[in-house]
């Protein structure tokens, strides 16, 4: 059946003398109409590495965050940790960006307590949650231990972090547990994310666990049969071997 016949089959309605408007199309875009797939050279949503090197933390906050991360992912005889990977720089950039602002999150009230199965219900986006919780942590440490977090011995730091995790330490106005869960998640992100985001410096975490990074072709290794496949890691911006020494 031709286009014309189909059109006759479908009853037209509604139109008559209505004046038609054309969509402004300033933001919404129209595709199709026989024009094919859009494509042009040099175009692509490349990662915005390096452009977002904004900072959010104050110097004191930054020190505390670095100290927390150093306990969550410690540097030890088994290998590097959050300090060598510069996880704090990752977190600083993340908190300064859309993630820290909670820009993609639904942040309309009312805010309720909720059950554990209902997930994050804080009225604070991540960056503000950090800021408020870090202030609370600082005051807790000074009151209970006489020193800020960064100046406490590692064992004491671990005890405090365990207290946050297990909800034996509580903060005012902000959930200590929500903060702990978030910073643990974010620290792991920073440790293992591509180095373009500021952490996992020199792919140190990938080397540590044996992850080859952003490679895109393992066809030659599918039949490994349980043997190790050792490949130099590659980040989105390459690896040292791409450059002449």
Token pair belonging to 101: 């602002």
Q: Which residue, 29 or 146, has its beta carbon nearer to another protein?
A: 29
Residue range at the interface with another protein (CB under 8 A); choices 54-62, 65-73, 127-135, 136-144? 65-73
- Among the listed residues 152, 138, 173, the one whose alpha carbon sits nearest the alpha carbon of residue 61: 138
Q: Is 44 in the site for another protein (CB under 8 A)?
A: yes
Cα–Cα distance, 110 to 105 (Å, whole number): 14
Q: Which residue, 147 or 218, has its beta carbon nearer to another protein?
A: 218
Token pair belonging to 12: 């037209």
Enclosing H/E stretch for 216 = none
Q: Which residues contact 163 (CB under 8 A, 6 or more apart)?
A: 169, 176
Token pair belonging to 82: 């959050």
Binding mask 158-177 for another protein (x = CB under 8 A): x--x---x------------
- Taking the complex as a whole, how short is the minimal distance between the CB of residue 143 and another protein, in angstroms? 24
Residue with tokens 């039949």: 223
Determine the 3-state secondary structure of 213 from DSSP: strand
Q: Which of 17, 59, 173, 244 binds another protein (CB under 8 A)?
A: 244
Interaction with another protein in 106-135: which residues (CB under 8 A)? 106-108, 110, 112, 114-121
Q: Is 60 in the site for another protein (CB under 8 A)?
A: no
Q: Which of 96, 128, 135, 184 binds another protein (CB under 8 A)?
A: 184
The DSSP code for 37 is -
Q: Is 51 in the site for another protein (CB under 8 A)?
A: no
Token pair belonging to 224: 């490994």
Residue range at the interface with another protein (CB under 8 A); choices 11-19, 58-66, 127-135, 138-146? 11-19
- Taking the complex as a whole, how short is the minimal distance between the CB of residue 146 and another protein, in angstroms? 24
């Amino acid at each position: 059946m031709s286009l014309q016949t189909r059109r006759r089959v479908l009853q037209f309605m509604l139109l008559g003398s209505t004046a038609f408007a054309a969509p402004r199309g300033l933001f919404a875009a129209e595709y199709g109409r026989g024009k094919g797939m859009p494509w042009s050279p040099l175009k692509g949503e490349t990662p915005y590495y390096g452009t977002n090197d904004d900072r959010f933390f104050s110097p004191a906050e930054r020190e505390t965050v670095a100290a927390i991360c150093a306990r969550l992912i410690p540097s030890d005889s088994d290998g590097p940790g959050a300090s060598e990977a510069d996880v704090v720089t990752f977190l600083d950039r993340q908190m300064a960006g859309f993630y820290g602002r909670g820009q993609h999150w639904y942040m309309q009230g009312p805010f309720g307590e909720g059950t554990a199965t209902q997930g994050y219900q804080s009225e604070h986006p991540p960056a503000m949650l950090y800021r408020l919780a870090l202030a609370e942590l600082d005051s807790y440490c000074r009151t209970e231990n006489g020193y800020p977090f960064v100046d406490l011995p590692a064992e004491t730091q671990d005890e405090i972090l365990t207290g946050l995790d297990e909800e034996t330490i509580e903060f005012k106005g902000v959930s200590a547990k929500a903060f702990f869960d978030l910073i643990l998640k974010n620290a792991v992100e920073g440790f293992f994310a591509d180095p373009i985001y500021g952490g996992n410096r020199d792919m140190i975490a990938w080397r540590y666990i044996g992850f080859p990074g952003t490679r895109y072709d393992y066809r030659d290794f599918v039949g490994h049969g349980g043997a190790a496949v050792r490949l130099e890691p590659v980040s989105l911006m390459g690896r040292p071997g791409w450059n002449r020494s």
